[in-house]
């Protein structure tokens, strides 16, 4: 009987599952799993379920899961995941920290965010705002670290704020009034695309009044008005490496804790603007 790999996402908003990041992970995991004679199930868990190893064990047992691939968990879940990973093969895609004793595959969000800040500063922007989700999971911790180092190195103000999954024009206006940014790094391309429309409603033009960049290089990123500068992550390769690790473990291969951090690619389009001043 084929072994079953569970793709587990924890406490994510519905929009997370529709984005390129999760879709491409599922596609790549499925393709690699089939090649290795495994099957795949997607298992969403709430934060309450995931913080209880006993509850998580029950869910995984009911689904017949033999190995666990956890996508973008929060820092608060590391202890519980550590217990589960001692009991079955497990790996994380996009961990909240790279300094953990659990197997993971990540992309270099620290380096990518530093590159974004350097790029925007090189275009003359000096008030670069990093927008993050209300709850930091996965890559967002590394982005915060990269942003902090980049702004400190360049002598720029540290401007960070959080936005809900569905941001309103009123909330955005509050952020703009408090932070007065001339450039914004959005959490993802879908949120960046939404911000373009909201900024327009507030009388702010992109990039003439405020530059805007996203993450993930969604299929639509080149079609927004203006086309979106973004970061392309090697999502398929991350998922392939993670699945190969789990399949090896299921086949009885004695693999040690595995850490891989893959490079991202900056995709420059019109939304970041031309040189200012």
Q: What is the pLDDT of residues 44-83, one digit of tens each?
A: 888 888 888 999 999 999 999 999 999 998 888 888 999 9
Closest to 70 in 3D by CA, of 87, 86, 84: 84
DSSP letter (8 states) at residue 46: -
Q: Which residues contact 28 (CB under 8 A, 6 or more apart)?
A: 235, 236, 237, 238, 239, 240, 243
Assign 155 a pLDDT band (cuts: 50, 70, 90): very high
**DSSP bridge pairs for 6:** 41, 68
Chain-wide mean pLDDT for the chain?
94
Q: Is the pLDDT score of 5 beyond 50? A: yes
Domains of the chain with CATH codes = 4-107+234-262 (3.40.50.2300), 109-232+267-272 (3.40.50.2300)
Q: What angle do CA 108, 240, 16 make, to 5 degrees?
A: 65
Mean pLDDT, rounded, for 147-176: 94
DSSP letter (8 states) at residue 73: -
pLDDT given at position 14: 77
pLDDT given at position 275: 43
Spell out the long-range contacts of 132-135 with Cβ–Cβ below 8 A and sequence spacing 24 or more: 132/160, 132/161, 132/162, 132/163, 132/187, 133/162, 133/163, 133/164, 133/165, 133/187, 134/162, 134/163, 134/164, 135/11, 135/74
């Amino acid at each position: 009987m084929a072994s079953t790999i569970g793709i587990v996402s924890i406490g994510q908003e519905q929009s997370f599952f529709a984005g390129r990041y999760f879709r491409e992970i599922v596609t790549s995991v499925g393709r690699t799993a089939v090649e290795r004679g495994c099957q795949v199930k997607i298992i969403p868990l709430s934060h309450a379920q995931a913080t209880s190893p006993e509850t998580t064990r029950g869910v995984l047992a009911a689904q017949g899961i033999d190995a666990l691939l956890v996508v973008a968990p929060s820092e608060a879940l590391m202890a519980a995941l550590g217990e589960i990973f001692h009991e079955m093969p497990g790996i994380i895609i996009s961990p909240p920290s790279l300094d953990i004793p659990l197997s993971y595959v990540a992309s270099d969000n620290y380096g990518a965010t530093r590159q974004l800040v350097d790029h925007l500063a090189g275009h003359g922007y000096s008030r670069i705002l990093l927008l993050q989700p209300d709850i930091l999971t996965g890559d967002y911790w590394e982005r915060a670290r990269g942003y902090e180092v980049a702004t400190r190195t360049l002598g720029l103000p540290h401007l960070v704020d959080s936005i809900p999954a569905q941001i309103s024009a009123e909330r955005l206006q509050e952020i703009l009034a408090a932070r007065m940014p001339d450039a914004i790094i959005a959490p993802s391309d879908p949120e960046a695309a939404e911000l373009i429309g909201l900024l327009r409603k507030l009388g702010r033009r992109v990039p003439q009044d405020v530059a805007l960049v996203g993450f993930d290089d969604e299929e639509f990123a080149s079609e927004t008005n203006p086309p979106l500068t973004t970061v392309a992550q090697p999502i398929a390769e991350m998922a392939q490496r993670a699945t190969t690790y789990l399949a090896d473990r299921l086949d009885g291969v004695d693999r040690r804790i595995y850490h891989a951090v893959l490079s991202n690619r900056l995709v420059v389009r019109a939304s970041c603007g031309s040189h200012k001043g």
